[in-house]
Structure 1
Amino acid sequence: MEVTRGAFERLLAEAKAAAPNEACGLLLGHRGHIEAVVLAQNVHPDPATHFEIDPQALIDAHRAARSGGPEVIGYYHSHPTGGAEPSPADIAGAENDGKVWAIVANGTVRFWRAGDGGFDELPTGVHNR
């Protein structure tokens, strides 16, 4: 997985700004390269320990992709307490769709692919593009 430095730094900034709640949003790009991060409202009733991306943000991003914009590579959220690995709630709620999940915690970002049987961590490179 490749990610631009700007997108990577935005993930860290959004997580910090949302604390003590979980930040969440979309990872946009092309062919496995994350080029942009779109913050979405966390509409979960308990945003301190869970996340739910505002459905309208997801609809808007998919519409933009169909019109030639960047594709939805995956999703991100933060863990204000805990580590940057999938929680039991993340594992239970994940679709087996191959999307990338970025999880931000304690100044760290780790990338995971949702698949059959859970998550696999992805090696990641950050570049200045």
Structure 2
Amino acid sequence: MGIEIEQKILGHARDAHPHECCGLLLGRGGRIEQIRPAANVHREPATHFEIDPQALLDAHRAARDGGPQVLGYYHSHPTTLPEPSATDRARAAGDGSIWAIVGEGRVTWWRDEKDGFAPLPYALRDG
């Protein structure tokens, strides 16, 4: 994963403030290669997020056609810590996907495991 990816996520969070931003993490072989910002369609976007279902469908369709895979999701916490909230934990699927959470000007990375979220070690690379 590149430094550029993290900077794009932080920029999306800044642009969406005071609402939560959200989007998709795309790549191959467990390596995040790009993000795809999505509309937050939740009825309370200041405190919750819901990725636009059409964005999800489009990304999965593109993956089936040979494009990058949906590895996970990102969203922001405009007024709280960058860690899974009670709402995040309740909505998690336990499917092994990657979650990036923005808060306090930084991004943290998590794996959505069967028993809850686990911090994800990662390395940022240029390019």
Q: Is TM more than 0.5 here? A: yes
Q: Give structure 1 regions of 4+ aligned residues with deviation exceeding 2 angstroms.
A: none
- Give CA-to-partner distance per residue, 1:8-40, whole Å, 9 cap, x none: 110000001000000000000111111101000
Kindly, what percent of the aligned residue pairs are identical? 54
Map of 1:53-92 to 2, 5 A cutoff?
A: 53-92=51-90
**Partner amino acid for 1:102?**
A
Scaled by the length of structure 2, what TM-score is found? 0.98
Aligned partner letter, 2:91? G
SS across alignment from 1:90 = helix
- Code of the aligned partner of 1:99: S
Question: Aligned AA for 1:98?
Answer: G
SS in 1 for 2:124: strand
Partner residue, 2:105:
107
Q: How big is each residue's C-alpha offset from its partner over 1:52-111, in whole Å with a ceiling of 9 and x where there is no partner?
A: 000000000001111111100100000001111000000000101110000011111011
Question: Which has a greater percent of strand?
Answer: 1
Q: State TM-score, norm by structure 1.
A: 0.96
Counterpart-to-counterpart distance in 2, 1:7 and 1:61: 17
Q: Give the Cα separation in 2 of the matches to 1:46 and 1:122.
A: 28
Gaps of 5+ in 1: none
Corresponding position of 1:10: 8
Distance in 1 of aligned mates of 2:70 and 2:59: 7
Which residue in the other structure is 2:91 paired with? 93
In structure 2, what is the equivalent of residue 118 of structure 1?
116
Alignment RMSD (CA, Å): 0.7
Question: d(CA) in 2 for partners of 1:6 and 1:63?
Answer: 25
Which sections of structure 2, spanning at least 5 residues, go unmatched?
none
